[in-house]
Amino acid sequence: MRSALRRRLLQAAHTDALAALDGDTWRSRCLHCRRALALRADGEALGTTSLEHVVPSAWFGRRAAAELCARVGFEPDDPRNLALACASCNHGKGCTHDARGPGDARAREVVAALLDARMARWREPAETP
C-alpha cells in the first residue's frame, strides 16, 4: 500500500472521535453503515477498511459543490474530508452519488449529511500522524 494512502488513513483515524488505538490496531466504525473497521497502527487497512473522501475529490473546483468544499478547506485531502468507510459503502457512494456529480440535488444532500456525520465525529489530532 502506498505511503500517502497510509498517511491519509491514519489522519482519518487520528481525527475520528470513534476511533481508538487498541494495542497496534485502530478500531472504528464505517461513516456510512457503522460496520466495525480496523486499521494497523502503521496505516495498513485491515479487512474492508477503505479511505472515504466525504466530498468527492472530483467535485473540488465545481461551482455546484463550492459550499461543501468550503466546509473542508477547499482541499480534497484535508483531514476534515477524510473518513474511514467499509469498501462496500465507499464503492456504493462512488457509483451512485459521487458519479451523479454536484449538480444533482440528491447527491449534494447525501454528501452534506455524510459531512455532518464526519464533523460530529471530528476530534482535533493530538499530533500530526
Tell me, yes or no, whether 25 lies in a domain. Answer: yes
Tell me, yes or no, whether 127 lies in a domain. Answer: no
Spatial strand order of the sheet with 25-29 comes to 20-22, 25-29, 36-40, 45-46
pLDDT tens digits for 27-77?
999 999 999 999 999 999 999 999 999 999 999 999 999 999 999 998 999
Tell me, yes or no, whether 106 lies in a domain. Answer: yes
Look up residue 23 and give its three cell numbers.
494495542
Indicate the number of domains in the chain: 1
Whole-prediction pTM value? 0.93
- Which residues span the domain enclosing 48? 3-120
